[in-house]
Structure formats: C-alpha cells, structure tokens
Structure 1
Amino acid sequence: MDVNLMCPGLYCGRSTIENRNDSHPQFGECGVCPRGERTDELRICRKCEDSPELYDWLYLGFMAMLPLILHWFFIEWYSGKKSSSALFQHVTALLECTVAAIVTLLVNDPIGRLKIRSCRVKMLSDWYTMLYNPSPDYINTLHCTQEAVFPLYTIIFIYYAFCLVFMMLLRPLLVKKIACGLGKSDRFKSIYAALYFFPILTVLQAVGGGLLYYAFPYIILVLSLVTLAVYMSASEIQTHKDLITKKKRLVVLFSHWMLHAYGIISISRLDKLDQDLPLLALVPTPALFYLLTAKYTEPSRILSEGGNGH
C-alpha cells in the first residue's frame, strides 16, 4: 500500500473488503477496527490470532484473585470468632470465582473452549486508545477507539459481572442456612462489602488497567510483604513455635508464600529457567527474617532498655 494512503494516528485502520471478482484485496475507509482486530504496520485491520503469553495469563490471574482475596478478607473480618461458618463461606467464595472464571473463558472467542485468542500488547498506549484519536485537519477528530489489547481489557469486566451474579445466587442462601452465631444484621455484611468493592475494582480496571498490567508483579510483592508483617505482628508471632501451634497461621503463611512466588514468577516471566527458578528460594526469606529479628524489635524490650539507659 502507498504510504500516503496510510491512516493517521496509531489505531485507525482500513478493514478489508471481500471482493470475489478481484484477486487484489480492497480496503475501506479509515476508521475503527472491528472488535478482535487491530492495525498492523500498514494500518490495515488484521484479526488477532495469537494466544496470550505467560505474562498475560499471570495478569488475568492477578485480576481474578483480587475479588477472591477481598471476599476472604471481609468474610474473616465480619465472622471473627463468633461463627463456625467462615470456612464454608471461604469455600463458597472460591467456588463462585472459579465458576465465574470458567464461564468467562467459555463465552469469549473462541466460544465454548477454555482458551482465548488475543492481540499482543505492544505498549502502554494500547490500553488507552481513546486518548489517541487523530485530528488530520485539526478540526474534525477521527474516532478510532478500540480494544487493541483484545480481550485483556473487557474480559475482566465480564469476569466481575459473573462473580457478582454467582455471589448473589449462592451466598445469601448459604449464609442464611449456616451462619449461626451471627446476628441477622451481621451475617450479610460480607455480601454488602462485595457490593462496594466490585464497583471499585471495575473503575480501577477501567482507569488503570494498563498501569496494572505493567505494575502488578511489584504490587503483589509489596502488598504480600506488608500484609505478612502486619499479620505476624498483630498475631504476636515471634518464634516458629508460635506459627505451628495454630493451623490457621500456617494457612496464612503458605498463602503469602504462594503470593511471593506468583510475584517473582511474574517479574522474571521464567524466560531463563536456569536463572529464574532459583529465585523461588527467596520466598520464605521475609518470614524467616521476621522471626529472627522479632525479639529485637519488641516494643516492651525497647522501652525497658531505653529506661535502663537513662
């Protein structure tokens, strides 16, 4: 194609027009590419036939984990020690998110299969095509807003919608049947919390999806380190014996270790297995460091030593 006929802007393209009588392909006017397509180097709309890379799947996994982790947090927060139903609610939340993820994959192209076709993410602007609509004559704007990262942007919204639907179908019945020990106003608070955080997650994806795509490995590592330190401090864990006395503490510890490993794998992308796999040995390091230094940072000991110094 003549370079002078190329469409302006980064994401405006020409769709191919089928013409059985002519062996040469013909192209339409410059505009937005259909969903599931994006422009090539010549600004021609091409169908996305790639499969998501490992990093793309890790990003989708991170976005899928967010509502599940928030579910578990609020279930634990509002259940406390009053109810024996927390475990059942945790399992139900896991079931809701798992089924929602499977259904989301099935309804995306190719429909009915547990796989998706996608467009390659090339740069940050691919997530914000609405900001790159060109104005060739500086008067009229050529609107070419599209999902250049198909389907990594919209698939998250579909997943959150299914999570919300399955939660409203399953959780109220379960809580009403099993949530003994909680008052009528308390037993549904974890569900009410979800009605708040799902819109927040949706806005977060809509506005910061591209930023999260590049930053999520570091977010996982920082948050997992901070929450582990806060949990161990709040639980007054100072030795390994304090950890192994309660199964719940071990579950929390192993959950954080899994998040650490997830973050390390996301950063390294396992491009070079011989160099990247040994990094997983660093997973227990924060917990071990905390146990080794906790006795030296105990507030009562610091105050007593400070008092003796004066």
Structure 2
Amino acid sequence: MAVDIQPACLGLYCGKTLLFKNGSTEIYGECGVCPRGQRTNAQKYCQPCTESPELYDWLYLGFMAMLPLVLHWFFIEWYSGKKSSSALFQHVTALFECTMAAITTLLVSDPVGVLYIHSCRVLMLSDWYTMLYNPSPDYVTTVHCTHEAVYPLYTIVFIYYAFCLVLMMLLRPLLVKKIACGLGKSDRFKSIYAALYFFPILTVLQAVGGGLL
C-alpha cells in the first residue's frame, strides 16, 4: 500500500484525513482535526472508529444512564408523600422514559438502526479532554484539533439526556395531571421541576468529569 509522505503532525490529536484512495494508493490531507467518528492512530492518520465498546465502557454508559432514573425515583418519592399509588405510576413512567430514551439513543448512533454502537478505544485520560491539547507551534497560533477521541462515549450521554428530557416533558405532565389530583397544586409537578434542575447538573458532570468516571 502506497501512502503519500508528509511531515508528521504536531500535538496528540492532530491527524491527516483521507482525501483519495485508488487501489493501494492513499492520499491524505494536511494535519488538522479528524472528522466525527474518527481518531488519530499512532502514525497520525485519522481512522474510523469501528471497535465495539469494552466492558468498562458499557458499565460507564450504564452508570450515566441510571443516574437520571435514580434521581427521578428519588424526587417522585420525596414529593409524593403518602400517595403510594400515584408514586408507583410515576416510577413506572420514569422507567419507561429512560428505557425509551436509551433505546432511541442507540438507534440513532452509528451504526444507525441497530442496538449496538461502534466506538474508539480509550487509551488515556487526555482522550476525554482533547480541547486542552491543541498545539501552538509558534506559541501564538493555535492549531485546533479538538475532536471526540472517545467517540461516542462523550456525546452519546448528552444525546441520551436530551431524549430523557423530551420524553419527560411529553409524558409526565399528562400522567401527573391525571393520577395525582390528590396532591396540592404546588406539589403536583415538583418532581418534574426537580428534573429541570438535575439534568443541567448531570450535563455539566458529564462534560467536566466524564473522563474521571
């Protein structure tokens, strides 16, 4: 296989994108940011993410997926008081919302339409924070090579939270209005209001601490 020879890329995450392939000849572009769904290899070429997530990756995704559900259940129980039947229906609805959000997230992720995902293997902690490793060759100009080196472990959680929030806003108010009539008007929607607070907190947690988890 013939590959065009160019100077090596600067920085940890700058790579060359494949421009043209003709038989055994591959032509790569200049060093820069890799497209979504790709990351640099040891030779600084952008390669598609085609591996399956490891066990630890699935455990991480499962943990991040369970956080909204546990918080939903906590606040539903907290604000429902002694209305156990009302709380039970809301618990089931929260479980349905999170389950459907998880399934939808997997279906819209690469490869689209199936319940599994392709990913790039996490090699080191800095893979989660590529924005901190943009090189500055002359200490003035910064070469921006920020991309999702841990694709899709970083953004898939945000997509899941977005689907959770949309499904909650579509389903929960109607259910609460129907079955929680015994609660005071001020208490009826408090579990939903709580979710509007903890979803932004979970988003910040994922954005800042995803690699540490």
TM-score surpassing 0.5? Answer: yes
TM-score by length of 2: 0.95
| Residue 102 (1) aligns with residue 112 (2) | no
The one of the two structures with greater contact order (alpha-carbon pairs below 8 A, sep at least 6) is: 2
Larger proportion of helix: 1
The aligned counterpart of 1:139 is 140
Identity %: 79
The aligned counterpart of 1:242 is none
Residues 27-38 of structure 1 mapped to structure 2, 5 A cutoff: 27-38=28-39
Larger proportion of strand: 2
Residues 112-261 of structure 1 mapped to structure 2, 5 A cutoff: 112-212=113-213
| Residue 6 (1) aligns with residue 8 (2) | yes
Aligned-residue offset at 1:164: 0.3
| Aligned partner of residue 81 in structure 1, secondary structure | coil
The aligned counterpart of 1:73 is 74
1:83–1:180: 8 Å Cα contact kept in structure 2?
A: no
Moved more, 178-187 or 163-172: 178-187
TM-score by length of 1: 0.66
CA distance in 2, matches of 1:160, 1:34: 24
| Residue 87 (1) aligns with residue 85 (2) | no
- Read off the aligned partner of 1:188 and give its amino acid letter: F
| Aligned partner of residue 96 in structure 1, secondary structure | helix
- Read off the aligned partner of 2:110 and give its amino acid letter: D
1:78–1:189: 8 Å Cα contact kept in structure 2?
A: yes
1:79–1:182: 8 Å Cα contact kept in structure 2?
A: yes
Aligned-residue offset at 1:18: 1.1
| Aligned partner of residue 76 in structure 2, secondary structure | helix
CA distance in 2, matches of 1:58, 1:23: 40
Q: Quick check: which has more Rg, 1 or 2?
A: 1
Aligned-residue offset at 1:19: 4.2
The aligned counterpart of 2:19 is 17
Structure 1, residues 210-266: CA drift from partner, whole Å, max 9, x if none? 012xxxxxxxxxxxxxxxxxxxxxxxxxxxxxxxxxxxxxxxxxxxxxxxxxxxxxx
The runs of at least 4 consecutive aligned structure 1 residues that moved more than 4 Å come to 1-4
CA distance in 2, matches of 1:158, 1:55: 20
The aligned counterpart of 1:271 is none
2:4–2:27: 8 Å Cα contact kept in structure 1?
A: no
The aligned counterpart of 1:291 is none
Structure 1 unpaired stretches of 5+: 213-310
- Read off the aligned partner of 2:57 and give its amino acid letter: D
Aligned-residue offset at 1:150: 0.1
| Aligned partner of residue 10 in structure 1, secondary structure | coil
2:135–2:144: 8 Å Cα contact kept in structure 1?
A: yes
| Aligned partner of residue 210 in structure 1, secondary structure | coil
CA distance in 2, matches of 1:4, 1:44: 11
Aligned-residue offset at 1:82: 3.9
